[in-house]
Amino acid sequence: MDLYGTGGESLQRRLQQPPGMHGRKTRRRESEYSRHLREKQKVKRMYGLQEKQFLRFFEKARRASGDTGIAFLKLLEKRLDNVVYRLGFARTRLQSRQFVSHGHVLVGGDRLNIPSALVEPGYVITLDQDILKMPDVQALSQNPPQVPAWLRRSDNGGEVVREPDRSEIDQDINEQLIVEFYSR
């Protein structure tokens, strides 16, 4: 699976080849622990988090009311670097993380350089003029990707309209496996 959002022909070729020099000859039956760990690692890499930060977000979701798995995914989606990515101003989450950490993103008119900052409904996110001149950002502005319904995009930024729903979050994620991993 394309975890980083870069895609390409090279990725398609590598996805067909199992890991290892010659690829695994025999497929072993995957254990429950292995399935849980792989799902956790997949989501961790998709959002570009270290283990400690990932666990901190999970604990925050565990304390929240309602379904832990859905609360966890909502917290990950509401991170500032992910919102910049979802608004379509960066090709990948890693690029949007760099935009935020380099101070190119303003939230409510104030410069914010913390990628893990959580945004709430009503927050207005704008990009400064320097970053809007970048070729990658200009190319994405001319052909913007589909923005989720919980966000509203404008020319140089966007607004968080409401909390994300589970249906608007990546469907390839099985959050129940992550909850079971941390529940053992």
Encoded tokens for 7: 């895609």
Residue with tokens 């989720």: 148
- Enclosing domain of residue 91: 79-162
Is 133 within a domain? yes
Is 90 within a domain? yes
What pLDDT does residue 127 have?
92
Query: pTM for the whole thing?
Result: 0.85
Encoded tokens for 124: 């207005």
CATH code of 99's domain = 3.10.290.10
Q: Please report, for residues 52, 86, 112, the alpha-carbon distance to residue 170 in angstroms, rounded to integers and kept in the order given.
A: 22, 11, 26
What whole-number percentage of the chain has pLDDT above 90?
Answer: 61
What pLDDT does residue 6 have?
61
What pLDDT does residue 3 have?
60
57 neighbors 76 (Cβ within 8 angstroms): yes
89 neighbors 127 (Cβ within 8 angstroms): yes
Question: For residue 29, what pLDDT band results from cuts at 50, 70 and 90?
Answer: confident
What pLDDT does residue 4 have?
57
The pairing of strands 157-160 and 151-154 is: antiparallel
Query: Tens of pLDDT along 134-166?
Result: 998 888 888 888 899 999 998 888 999 999 999
C-alpha–C-alpha distance, residues 78 and 32, integer Å: 30
Is 134 within a domain? yes
Is 181 within a domain? no
Is 179 within a domain? no
Look at the chain and report how many structural domains it folds into: 1
Is 100 within a domain? yes
Query: Tens of pLDDT along 76-114?
Result: 999 999 999 999 999 889 999 999 999 999 999 899 999
The pairing of strands 151-154 and 110-111 is: unpaired
C-alpha–C-alpha distance, residues 2 and 4, integer Å: 6
What pLDDT does residue 170 have?
81
Write the DSSP symbol of residue 159. Answer: E
Question: For residue 9, what pLDDT band results from cuts at 50, 70 and 90?
Answer: low
Is 112 within a domain? yes
